[in-house]
């Protein structure tokens, strides 16, 4: 399992001396198999951080190391699920999930079987041939997850993937994501501005300050494990320990904004 090390990363946007500092002196390690959640208000550079980790933006200073080597652009070991839908509307739901397998030259029948298995795992049995515009927002987000997972990245980078969903759909997808995480052992890097989502999903929650984004708080949490053992999201989220952790994160976010 690869280890992603971020070492004194700063990002300016647009790149160069004239740009505005978006991120300053960020250091952390995405440990194999952990869920690291980045929590922060809008405009704190969360998405810039994800773009840097994915390899879409080069560091302005500092380093990002994957197994000890600096990143050279995007790679299939780092999948992304982005805030804005990035599905391909010219393909069916199943065609989208098959896409990463097609890139690898899998034969058609094997591709199809694998895509159907992923769709089923995400609760989308029988949706292989459906055009995307016939699916609800929650279903499309599931397709997006299925596609990213079918590519089998060791690290999955998610940028507010559930931000546009209603509260019920959102919670069911959080639970699904945790189950998939347990079954796959992948490392997740998850961006959100929802304090509750951060506390529920994170093994580590990292709070960023507004521009320029700095790490101002870090907590190690175990509510994701508690959910996977008990299987009841409401019970976990109603637990006084969860509420205390949530309020602590919220306080850190407020403190960061002065």
Partner 1 sequence: MPARADDHYGLPPQGGAWPLSLAVLAALLALWWAAARFGWVSPLFLPGPGRVWRTFLWLCSDQATGGGLAGHVLASLGRVLGAFLLAVAIALPLGLGMGLNRLLRAGLDPLLEFYRPLPPLAYLPLTVLWLGIGEAQKLLLLTLAMAPPLALAARAGVRAVAVEQLHAAYAMGASRRQALLWVVLPAALPDILIGLRIGLGFGWTTLVAAEMVAAERGLGQMVLNASNFLRTDIMMVGILVIGLIAMAFDGAMRLLARRLTPWHGKQ
Residues at the interface with partner 1 (CB under 8 A): 54-56, 73-76, 78-80, 82, 84-91, 99-100, 102-104, 131-133, 147-148, 151, 153, 157
Nearer to partner 1, 99 or 233 (CB): 99
Residue 155: φ, ψ to 5°: -125, 130
Q: How far is the CB of 105 from partner 1 (least distance, A)?
A: 10
Q: How buried is residue 74: exposed, middle or buried, by Cβ count under 10 Å (0-12/13-18/19+)?
A: middle
Angle of helix 137-150 relative to helix 167-184, nearest 10 degrees, comes to: 10
CB of 110 to partner 1, least distance (A): 17
- Compute the least distance from the CB of residue 76 to partner 1, in Å: 3
Separation of alpha carbons 144 and 141, rounded Å: 5
- Residue with Cβ nearer partner 1 (89 or 231): 89
Percent of residues in the chain assigned helix, strand, coil, to nearest 5: 40, 25, 35
Min. distance of Cβ 216 from partner 1 in angstroms? 28
CB 162, CB 190: distance < 8 Å: no
Distance in Å, CB of 11 to partner 1, minimum: 16
Closer to partner 1 by CB, 163 or 210: give it: 163
Query: In Å, how far are 6, 198, 215, 218 from 205, measured between CA atoms?
Result: 15, 6, 10, 6
In the bound state with partner 1, the residue whose beta carbon lies nearer, of 11 and 175, is: 11
For partner 1, the closer of residues 93 and 245 by Cβ is 93
């Amino acid at each position: 399992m690869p280890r992603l090390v971020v070492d004194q990363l700063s990002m300016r946007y647009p790149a160069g001396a004239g740009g505005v500092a978006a991120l300053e002196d960020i250091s952390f390690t995405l440990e194999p198999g952990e869920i690291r959640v980045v929590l922060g208000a809008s405009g704190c550079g969360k998405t810039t951080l994800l773009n840097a980790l994915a390899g879409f933006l080069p560091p302005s200073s500092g380093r990002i190391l994957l197994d000890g080597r600096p990143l050279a652009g995007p790679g299939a070991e780092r999948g992304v699920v982005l805030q804005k839908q990035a599905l391909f509307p010219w393909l069916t739901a199943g065609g989208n999930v098959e896409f990463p397998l097609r890139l690898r030259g899998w034969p058609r029948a094997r591709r199809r079987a694998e895509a159907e298995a992923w769709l089923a795992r995400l609760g989308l049995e029988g949706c292989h041939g459906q055009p995307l515009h016939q699916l609800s927002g929650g279903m499309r987000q599931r397709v997006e997850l299925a596609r990213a997972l079918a590519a089998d990245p060791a690290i999955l980078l998610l940028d507010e993937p559930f931000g546009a969903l209603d509260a019920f759909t959102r919670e069911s997808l959080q639970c699904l994501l945790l189950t998939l995480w347990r079954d796959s052992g992948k490392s997740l890097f998850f961006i959100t501005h929802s304090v509750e989502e951060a506390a529920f999903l994170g093994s580590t929650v990292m709070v960023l300050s507004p521009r320029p984004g700095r790490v101002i708080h870090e907590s190690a949490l175990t509510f994701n494990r508690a959910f996977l053992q008990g299987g009841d999201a409401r019970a976990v989220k109603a637990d006084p320990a969860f509420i205390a952790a949530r309020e602590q994160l919220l306080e850190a976010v407020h403190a960061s904004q002065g």
